[in-house]
Amino acid sequence: MTFPERKYLNTVSPTTTRDYERDLLIDDEHAATNDIESPHLQMAYGSCNKTEKNNPLLHVVVDKKSGRARKKRPANWNMAAIRFASRLSIVLTTGSLFMLLRMPNGNFFPSGLWVFITCIFVSWYPSLDVASVMEKAKYRIIGTVIGGTLGVALGELSIKIPTENLQAIFLGCTITFVVFIFGYISISWKASDGGSYTYVHMIGILTFGIAMLPFCHDTERRLSRAVTRVVDVILGCILSCFGALLIWPRSTSCVVKERLAEQMTLSGETVEALLLKAAGTFSGMSNPLNITQLVRQGNKNKDSVHRKYILATDKVRYEESINITFLQSLLKSRPFRK
């Protein structure tokens, strides 16, 4: 299996009357036409670090009057990031309406800020797929219900205590006991459940404190405040789930395929770098070729190091394509949900 050679163009395109933009693109056929000996390009090329020097795609901008050169790379739009940012902005804007708008009776939605906060924590997930958002929303609802129920029940029990000092002592001891139980369970069961319910325990502790602490103040509507905060969290989870399902949804299998392909490509690039270094070291030369000299050597000579390197990397790429095809067929036969 062979791959087509990469063709790079050496172009000089004026951007303004003062600046010229030049792509320093080194290839085996076009290396001789690149003005690498220019002092302007040497200035920019010499200011690069080691990794950038080995990168044949060095973008240099040269000022025509001052003669100064600076490094520049073309911007690439990440569509996955655009989809994630669009979904997050729509969900959070919808969640903020619970604070900005009034209900039909003229009052604001009680504790609407928690809808907005919940949308942030549930929608912000690194894997960016529907199943992960749904799973995180499920865990947050479970933790909210458990923590809210415990907080309301123990808070109502604290009302029966006659004095305020005894009530504060009771609530403090209750917080110590409940937090200890949640923390112990989260660590003890982490190995058995794979750490999935650690988030449930954390949200349970948070909601427990949110629901119970209002009972320490001698004010009215303590129970309604605790209940509305639990309801707000559930509403935020529902909004996040709808956003993941309706706004550019991505299946988990698609995300897994992309991650596997990225890892395989990264492994191939690592092997290419090792083969390149080994080819120069074992070529029998007293001074092994660097990246620029190796590419300029070309592949016309059948005994050249560059040609041997290309043949070796072609084989590595072929093996990578076989592995990716196998993993894709495996995902189709047994789809991943987590």
Is residue 256 in some structural domain? Answer: yes
Same domain, 66 and 93: no
Q: Is residue 183 part of a domain?
A: yes
Residue 221 identity (one-letter amino acid) = R
Total domains present in the chain: 3
Query: What distances in angstroms separate CA 109 from CA 100, 115, 209, 315, one per listed residue?
Result: 9, 10, 21, 63
Domain closes at, from 229, 246, 263: 246
In a domain, 122, yes or no: yes
- Point out the domain boundary residue: 205, 229, 246: 246
| Residue 218 falls inside a structural domain | yes
Same domain for 84 and 226, yes or no, is: yes
Instruction: Give yes or no: residues 188 and 60 share one domain.
Output: no
What tens-digit pLDDT sequence spans the chain (338 residues)?
443 443 333 333 333 333 333 333 333 333 333 444 444 444 444 444 444 444 444 445 555 555 555 555 445 667 777 888 888 888 888 888 887 877 777 677 777 788 888 888 888 765 567 777 888 888 888 888 888 888 888 888 888 888 778 888 888 888 899 999 888 888 877 655 555 677 888 888 888 887 887 776 655 566 777 778 778 888 888 888 888 888 887 777 777 777 777 777 767 766 666 666 666 666 566 666 565 565 555 555 555 555 666 665 666 566 556 556 655 555 554 444 44
Domain co-membership, 23 together with 172: no
105 and 207 share one domain? yes
Residue 275 belongs to a domain:
yes
Q: Are residues 221 and 162 in the same domain?
A: yes
Is residue 1 assigned to a domain?
no
Domain membership of residue 100 (yes or no) is: yes
Domain boundary among 54, 71, 88: 71
> Which domain, by its residues, includes 214?
80-246
For residue 338, is it within any domain?
Answer: no
Q: Are residues 236 and 269 in the same domain?
A: no
